[in-house]
Amino acid sequence: MTEAALAQPASKRARKPALTGRVIFASAIGTTVEWYDFLLYGSAAGLVFGKVFFPKSDPLTGAMLSFATFGVGFLARPVGGIIFGHFGDRVGRQRILTISMLIMGFATFAIGLLPTYNQVGLLAPVLLVLLRLAQGFGLGGQWGGAILMSAEYGSAPRRGLWTGFTQAGGGFGNFLAVLVLAAMAAVLPKEEFLAWGWRIPFLLSVVLIVIGIWVRTALEETPVFEAALADGAAHKAPVVQTLKDRPWQVVVGGALKFGENVSFYLMTAFGLTYLTDPNMLHVERSVALNGVLAGSAMGALTMPLWGLLSDKIGRRPVYGFGAAGLIVWAFLFFPLLQTRSPALITLAMMVGVTVHSAMNGPQGAFLAELFPTRIRYSGVSLCYQVTSIVGGSWAPIISLALYKQFQSTIPISAYLAFSCAVSLAGVLFARETKGATFAQLDAESPLPRA
């Protein structure tokens, strides 16, 4: 029996607008929850954790230590990606998503209950690191599954749009995280915000977790995955199979991810520290948070539009525009921040994150189309999560170290431009895949039988 015949009932079901819409909505909601949890930490690292968990260090060193704990979460992401990718390719996408959300939710809620350095000494940052590792592990399995639910349910001509909505969940998650932090910082005196106000956004994650799990447990397995299993057994070690049969796709996918990953965390997480730190620009917290808030909103709103444009003109030109645009914007971003003007700070963030979204919006579809169905979860997770170790995890720390060494943002702009040049190289080496069905992509480059 052919793959098309095997997939026929599932494909008909996948084309029902109500079912497809429910899957896209569930994936976007779940991604919003996961990224709220993960990115809330980045904002808090820039504003709070250096003072709360590393109060004995000078401000710049405390900020670097705080961002070091932020980076620890990225170290756990590939582990989560490998483990969850293994089971996602063997037993399915849907169940893995719920498990990853529970892990992330517990860790985030527990951070809100942590004692401070002044209460328990070194135990406080140790516990913080352990919970950050748990966050990273949970997120490592979440992204690939959420993207594949959208990509494999959605039709090929609109795959960029559907996965763009799921990608937008990350932007909305960051928006919610910064919004809650901004609200707490606005209504509380600085002493109370540092004493207990910063905990509220972490504790509120339990509400989002309940909503996300409720939505996701109503989902069914993707028809594309079911058809692939019907046509051949799952590989016993899909991660190993990916590295053996698709190493070039992993390299290209990692290059695509690198600049997008570095640029986001450099502009948002490091941007908050650069704006508010007394040894740097020292602007009001509300000004900095409002700028990131506006940028996050624009990013979330434009990601589906960039995804849709990639359905029209191709993944490569849209992604290439985002990478090339940020190479230019890297040298305009910091001069705008240095004006200390609330309007220009907001403009810098909005333009930067919007151009960044030209990479992030079509990214889910672009990476998913690199790999055959039976190793797709493992493949996209490797590209996405392994790259984060040398990408976003180090971006705030490297930026702080460069500033501390040179007392200038020009080296930081050069670092940002270089990272986006890596992604531009990935675009040049990637093949165009817009509009291709997964059956076509699987047939063009079949895997060995399991």
Contact criterion met (CB below 8 Å) for 393 and 336? no
Domain residue spans of the chain: 3-444
Q: Does domain 3-444 have CATH number 1.20.1250.20?
A: yes
Q: What is the rounded CA–CA span in Å between residue 226 and residue 278?
A: 56
Contact criterion met (CB below 8 Å) for 242 and 381? no
Q: What's residue 47's pLDDT?
A: 75
3-state SS string over 353-380? HHHHHHHHHHHHHHHHCCCCHHHHHHHH
Q: Which two tokens stand for residue 16?
A: 């029902």
Q: What's residue 208's pLDDT?
A: 66
How confident is the prediction along the chain (450 residues), in pLDDT tens digits per residue? 333 333 334 444 444 555 667 777 777 777 787 778 777 877 787 778 888 888 877 777 777 777 777 777 778 888 888 888 777 777 667 677 777 778 888 888 999 999 988 898 889 889 988 998 888 888 777 777 788 888 888 788 999 999 998 888 888 887 888 788 778 878 888 888 888 888 988 898 887 677 767 766 666 777 777 777 777 656 677 888 888 889 999 999 999 999 999 999 899 888 988 998 888 998 988 898 889 889 988 998 999 999 999 999 999 999 999 999 999 999 999 999 999 999 999 999 999 999 999 999 999 999 999 998 888 888 888 888 788 878 877 888 899 899 989 999 999 999 999 999 999 999 999 999 999 988 888 887 666 555
Contact criterion met (CB below 8 Å) for 404 and 387? no
Q: What's residue 22's pLDDT?
A: 72
Q: What's residue 15's pLDDT?
A: 46
Q: Which two tokens stand for residue 159?
A: 């795959």
Q: Where are the alpha helices (DSSP H) in 91-237?
A: 94-111, 117-120, 123-153, 159-187, 190-192, 199-203, 205-216, 223-231
Q: What is the rounded CA–CA span in Å between residue 32 and residue 167?
A: 9
Q: What is the rounded CA–CA span in Å between residue 445 and residue 256?
A: 21
Exposure class string for 69-79: b at 16+ Cβ within 10 A, else e: bbbbbbbbbbe
Q: What's residue 233's pLDDT?
A: 58
